[in-house]
């Protein structure tokens, strides 16, 4: 698998083929920490924890996703089965009801799920056959079903079999197809759909005509994406400079961030962004009220700033006011807001620069929501 991985709310571990079966014997446990009021940690309780706790005893977790609001969680196993837990008030767990669950529950019996992303009270997923499925709340048409009806079990979006990855945000969704095109739907009051307007859409709409989109991330009222040529693009709300364009102007169509062609991956949170370049450096910009930019201060920045001077960063995740990254050596680092123990450091102290979680060098994936974190290790 190419090192240029898509950050669409889930991170694929080496050895798992999202288009087919497991290709390696690599095994990973699932860990969680932070807020747990809805059972989103998957531990069978609603107790908060400020250090990592293992979720069950299974070692075949492959893809993880903490919903953008941090109140539900999802994972795909190496078997291709899909599991969810946590808040379910709008049917976002896809279990055919609105009951909360504090431990993982399998959605149906299918073994062909390849991508999962949860936004605000809704979820979207892609199967290995390229079909797209959504469920949960649908207030702004974010399910893409041409209506605003909630559904508590997966519903197929159209009949196409060309979908690749999805990213759920604040009542809106971004998705890429296998042909490199980029699509969006749902809430659009800040131009976050990238369609040149602020009109809501309840079915997928293509963003431009280009076929070179590599990764895309629907964040909170804005979007960020990387193309196959290594350029970085952003659009939507920019009140804290989260578009990285050197201003706080909102844009309803994609705008290139600088002129560099060395961007590898990007992740958007609640007004801030993390990005990694091909040289292994890590960069951040936007809101920084809780030190989530990792720059050892709480100053907002409207253009990319490098975090430290190391060139060993690989995977990234941006939560509400917190951030996380895994280095090439398998160590996990977190920073930003920590009032619920979401940094996993055994305390509730905020940190404005990256802090290593323990000494393990076997971390493989991380996903954080508003106040909790999931990781494979």
The CATH number for 85's domain is 2.130.10.30
Of 19-23, 39-43, 298-302, 362-366, the range with the lowest mean pLDDT is: 19-23
Across the chain, mean pLDDT equals 93
* pLDDT, position 26: 72
The DSSP string of 143-193 is T-SSS---EEEEEE-SS---EEEEEE-SSEEEEEETTS-EEEEE--TTSTT
Rounded to an integer, the average pLDDT of 144-159 is 98
What pLDDT digit, counting tens, does each position of 172-212 carry?
999 999 999 999 999 999 999 999 999 999 999 999 999 99
Q: Is residue 274 scored above 90 in pLDDT?
A: yes
Q: How confident is the model at residue 13 (pLDDT cuts 50, 70, 90)?
A: very low
Q: What is the pLDDT of residues 286-335, one digit of tens each?
A: 999 999 999 999 999 999 999 999 999 999 999 999 999 999 999 999 99
Residue 16 located in a structural domain? no
Find residue 3's DSSP bridge partners: none
* Residue 6 confidence (pLDDT): 33
Which one is predicted more confidently, 302 or 2? Answer: 302
3-state secondary structure 92-123: CCCCCCCCCEEEEEECCCCCCEEEEEECCCEE
- Quick one: pLDDT band at residue 279, thresholds 50, 70, 90? very high
Separation CA 349–CA 255 (nearest Å): 36
Q: Does residue 329 lie within any of the structural domains?
A: yes
Look at residue 7 in the predicted model and tell me its pLDDT.
Answer: 35
What span, in angstroms and rounded, lies between the C-alpha atoms of 125 and 14?
Answer: 20
CA 228 to chain centre: 19
Structure tokens at 301: 């920045």
- As a whole-number percent, the residues of the chain with pLDDT over 90 amount to 92
Distances from the Cα of 151 to the Cα of 46, 123, 203, 220, 229, angstroms: 25, 10, 15, 23, 38
DSSP 282-311: EEEEE--TTSTT-SSS---EEEEEE-SS--
Note whether 157 and 134 are within 8 A (CB): yes
Tokens linked to 242:
């989260």
Q: Per-residue confidence at 27, pLDDT binned at 50, 70, 90?
A: confident
Q: Is 336 part of any domain?
A: yes
d(CA 275, CA 283): 5
Closest alpha carbon to 84 in 144, 137, 125, 54: 125
**Integer CA distances (angstroms), 247 to 238, 250, 286, 290, in order:** 8, 9, 10, 21
Measured CA angle at 46 (ends 124, 102), to 5 deg: 45
Decide if 15 is inside a domain. no
Specify the pLDDT at position 17: 33
Question: Which domain does 76 fall in, by range?
Answer: 30-376
Find the Cα–Cα–Cα–Cα dihedral 33, 37, 39, 42, rounded to 10°: 10
305, β-bridge pairs: 284
Tokens representing 13 are 């571990």
Is residue 123's pLDDT more than 50?
A: yes
Buried b (16+ CB within 10 A) or exposed e, 267-289: bbbbbbbbbbbeeebbbbbbbbb
What confidence score (pLDDT) does residue 102 get? 98
Q: Does the residue 25 lie in any domain? A: no
Question: What does the pLDDT average to over 104-118?
Answer: 97
Q: What is the CA radius of gyration of the chain?
A: 18
Does residue 14 register a pLDDT over 60?
A: no
DSSP letter at 12 equals P
Sign of CA dihedral 147, 152, 158, 162: positive
User: Considering the domain boundaries, does residue 226 fall inside one?
Assistant: yes
| Contact assessment for residue 14 and residue 24, using Cβ atoms and an 8 Å cutoff | yes
Q: How far apart are CA 335 and CA 342, in angstroms?
A: 9
Q: Is 95 exposed, middle or buried (0-12, 13-18, 19+ CB in 10 A)?
A: buried
Structure tokens at 372: 């909790």
Q: Residue 282: which of 251, 233, 326, 227 has the closest Cα?
A: 326
Our count of domains for the chain comes to: 1
Confidence of residue 19 (pLDDT cuts 50, 70, 90): very low
User: Bigger pLDDT: 4 or 298?
Assistant: 298
> pLDDT tens across 218-253, in order?
999 999 999 999 999 999 999 999 999 999 999 999
- For residue 9, is it within any domain? no
Residue 14 lies in a domain: no
pLDDT at 40 exceeding the cut of 70: yes
Residue in the block written with tokens 């009542």: 171
Given pLDDT bands bounded at 50, 70 and 90, which one contains residue 74? Answer: very high
């Amino acid at each position: 698998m190419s090192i240029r991985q898509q950050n669409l709310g889930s991170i694929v571990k080496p050895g798992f083929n999202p288009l087919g079966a497991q290709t390696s014997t690599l095994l990973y446990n699932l860990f969680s920490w932070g807020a747990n009021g809805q059972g989103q940690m998957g531990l069978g309780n609603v107790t908060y924890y400020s250090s990592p706790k293992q979720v069950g005893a299974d070692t075949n977790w492959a893809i993880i996703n903490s919903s953008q609001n941090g109140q539900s969680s999802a994972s795909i196993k190496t078997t291709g089965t899909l599991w969810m837990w946590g808040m379910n008030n709008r049917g976002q767990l896809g279990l055919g009801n609105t009951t909360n669950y504090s431990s993982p529950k399998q959605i149906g019996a299918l073994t062909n799920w390849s991508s999962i992303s949860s936004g605000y009270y809704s979820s979207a997923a892609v199967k290995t056959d390229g079909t797209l499925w959504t469920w949960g709340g649908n207030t702004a048409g974010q399910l893409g079903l041409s209506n605003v009806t909630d559904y508590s079990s997966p519903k197929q979006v159209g009949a196409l079999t060309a979908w690749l990855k999805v990213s759920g945000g604040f009542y809106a969704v971004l998705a890429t197809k296998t042909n490199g095109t980029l699509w969006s739907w749902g809430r659009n009051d800040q131009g976050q759909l990238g369609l040149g307007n602020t009109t809501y859409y309840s079915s997928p709409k293509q963003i431009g005509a280009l076929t070179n989109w590599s990764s895309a991330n629907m964040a909170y009222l804005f979007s960020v994406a990387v193309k196959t040529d290594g350029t970085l693009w952003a659009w939507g709300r920019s009140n804290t400079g989260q578009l990285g364009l050197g201003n706080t102007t909102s844009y309803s169509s994609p705008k290139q961030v600088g002129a560099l062609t060395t961007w590898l991956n990007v992740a958007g949170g609640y007004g801030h962004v993390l990005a990694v370049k091909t040289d292994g450096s890590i960069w951040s910009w936007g809101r920084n009220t809780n030190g989530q930019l990792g720059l050892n201060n709480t100053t907002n920045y409207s253009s990319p700033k490098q975090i430290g001077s190391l060139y060993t960063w690989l995977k990234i995740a941006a939560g509400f006011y917190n951030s996380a990254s895994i280095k090439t050596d398998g160590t996990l680092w977190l920073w930003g807001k920590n009032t619920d123990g979401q940094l996993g450091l055994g305390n509730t102290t905020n940190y404005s620069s990256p802090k290593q979680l323990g000494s393990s060098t076997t971390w493989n994936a991380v996903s954080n929501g508003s106040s909790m974190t999931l990781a494979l290790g």
